[in-house]
Amino acid sequence: MTKLDDFRLMFGKRELVPIMIGGMGVDISTSALALEAARLGGIGHISDAMIKVVSDNKFNTNYVKEKLQRYKFNVANTDKSVVHFRLAELAEATKMHVGKTMEAVRGAGMVFINCMEKLTMNAPKETLAVRLRSALDAGIDGITLAAGLHLGSFSLIEDHPRFRDAKLGIIVSSARALQLFIRKNIRTNRLPDYVVVEGPLAGGHLGFGMDWAKYELSSIVADVMAWLKAEKLDIPVIPAGGIFTGTDAVRYMEMGAAGVQVATRFTVTNECGLPEKVKQEYFRATEDLVEVNETSPTGYPMRMLKSSPSIGAGIRPNCEAYGYLLDAKGQCSYIEAYNKALEANPGAKKVSVKEKTCLCTHMRNFDCWTCGHYVYRLKDTTTKNEDGSYRSLSAEHVFKDYQFSTEGRIALPA
């Protein structure tokens, strides 16, 4: 019986277990989770989303408080364009997060960082350049460019000494997006080292419209592979989204995939950053509780549990403390939606904002319960404790279940 462990992901001469744990911001894919993947011979991701929040939690820095102090005068102002990130602090926080993680790497695997272009931070190019360059400076093994087309990202780092030695990958949801990226980057004379093909059943933001259900991961993967073959390009293809068992993964490996990227099954592991209470929500989820909605201000649909506290919460925008989604003009569609709700309800102490959510605040508080489509199957991956709660799993257990399971079986914890 073929199992995922019968395959290897090759990066040059480096041989890896073909399991990549996808990036999950904000610190849901923790260093501890990524390090476990690396220890077990696969690839783990940390994320640089809301890096200053992560740094404050991990390293007792005071970035968020200090930024809020700096911009306190603007809290009641609907115009947030004055709120800027200090690039030196961004570099410092990134280097700390990446550096400390890389110091702790053990085993034959690798640790990458997930970098979402949509975190535009009121200065998209400048902040992205600092994020990418600082991660490279601090010794990250690879960068996965996510949430956005990143057409110009390679040129932001092409003069970096590690531009050709670090692994650089891109997440796409169509062959066309990959074509565009490669065409745009020919000038840098460097191809991506891998391409994650993310289908419509993934967690987080989706690279599809609200017609996502029309698409199927296996067809997109086949399209991407056909195009690469026709162009004689040898780039490892890594499917993602809805790969729930080792057997699902083997199906893609037999199509010619180099590895798989998975995430949802790791959301209920001890190493995952979600609070225990939220892990239990994921375990308890039923299929009818999962929805794809347009509440994210990024403009991408996002999959989440309908019970997410982020949905409909009309909190005051918190850009003076966070502001990660402010675009180049200092705007965010949540601010607009919030202001509209205030105008429609003059004098109201509390408003409900249905169409958009303050993603920064809610991700920071683990109140946006984003998940892959098959979150409702997590309850079948564990046993219950005496008090009726579900038992969270070790990342090693889940990793090895992907690696060794056959015939669609899922191993329960001992």
Ligand X SMILES: Cc1cc2nc3c(=O)[nH]c(=O)nc-3n(C[C@H](O)[C@H](O)[C@H](O)COP(=O)(O)O)c2cc1C
Nearest distance in Å: CB 247, ligand X: 14
Q: Any contact of residue 370 with ligand X (CB under 6 A)?
A: yes
Task: List the beta bridge partners of residue 142.
Answer: 112, 167
Nearest alpha-carbon partner for 273 in 363, 206, 359, 377: 363
Q: Any contact of residue 18 with ligand X (CB under 6 A)?
A: no
Per the listing, tokens 């308890």 go with: 284
Q: Any contact of residue 378 with ligand X (CB under 6 A)?
A: no
Nearest distance in Å: CB 25, ligand X: 3
What lies within 8 Å, CB to CB, of 117 at 6+ separation is 124, 128, 145, 146, 147, 148, 149, 150, 153
Q: Any contact of residue 206 with ligand X (CB under 6 A)?
A: no
Residues numbered 237 to 266 that lie near ligand X (CB under 6 A) are: 240-243, 261-264
How far apart, in Å, are the Cα atoms of 162 and each of 82, 127, 128, 132?
A: 34, 19, 16, 11
Nearest distance in Å: CB 72, ligand X: 29
Q: Any contact of residue 360 with ligand X (CB under 6 A)?
A: no
Q: Pick one of 53, 91, 202, 398: the residue that binds ligand X (CB under 6 A).
A: 202
Between residues 156 and 240, which has the closer beta carbon with respect to ligand X? 240
Q: Any contact of residue 308 with ligand X (CB under 6 A)?
A: no
Specify whether the CB–CB gap between 8 and 17 falls below 8 A: yes
Q: Any contact of residue 91 with ligand X (CB under 6 A)?
A: no
| Collapsed DSSP state (helix, strand, coil) of residue 240 | strand
Q: Is the peptide bond before 26 cis (omega within 30 degrees of 0)?
A: yes
Q: At what angle do helices 87-103 and 31-39 cross, to 10 degrees?
A: 40
Nearest alpha-carbon partner for 360 in 105, 60, 35, 120: 120
Residues numbered 155 to 194 that lie near ligand X (CB under 6 A) are: 171
Q: Any contact of residue 236 with ligand X (CB under 6 A)?
A: no
Q: How many CB atoms neighbour CB 349 within 10 A? A: 5
Between residues 66 and 216, which has the closer beta carbon with respect to ligand X? 216
Nearest distance in Å: CB 145, ligand X: 9
| Collapsed DSSP state (helix, strand, coil) of residue 132 | helix
Between residues 281 and 355, which has the closer beta carbon with respect to ligand X? 281
- Type and span of the H or E element at 156: helix 153-157
Between residues 243 and 351, which has the closer beta carbon with respect to ligand X? 243
How far apart, in Å, are the Cα atoms of 80 and each of 38, 65, 278, 318, 365?
A: 40, 17, 31, 10, 21
Residues numbered 99 to 118 that lie near ligand X (CB under 6 A) are: 114, 116
Between residues 50 and 335, which has the closer beta carbon with respect to ligand X? 50
Q: Any contact of residue 371 with ligand X (CB under 6 A)?
A: yes
Q: Which stretch binds ligand X (CB under 6 A): 21-29, 85-93, 129-137, 182-190?
A: 21-29
Q: Pick one of 169, 204, 207, 297: the residue that binds ligand X (CB under 6 A).
A: 204
Q: Any contact of residue 405 with ligand X (CB under 6 A)?
A: no
Q: Any contact of residue 47 with ligand X (CB under 6 A)?
A: yes
CA-CA distance, 378 to 280, in Å (whole number)? Answer: 10
Nearest distance in Å: CB 378, ligand X: 10
Binding site for ligand X (CB under 6 A): 22-25, 28, 47, 49, 114, 116, 146-147, 171, 198, 201-204, 240-243, 261-264, 267, 370-372, 374
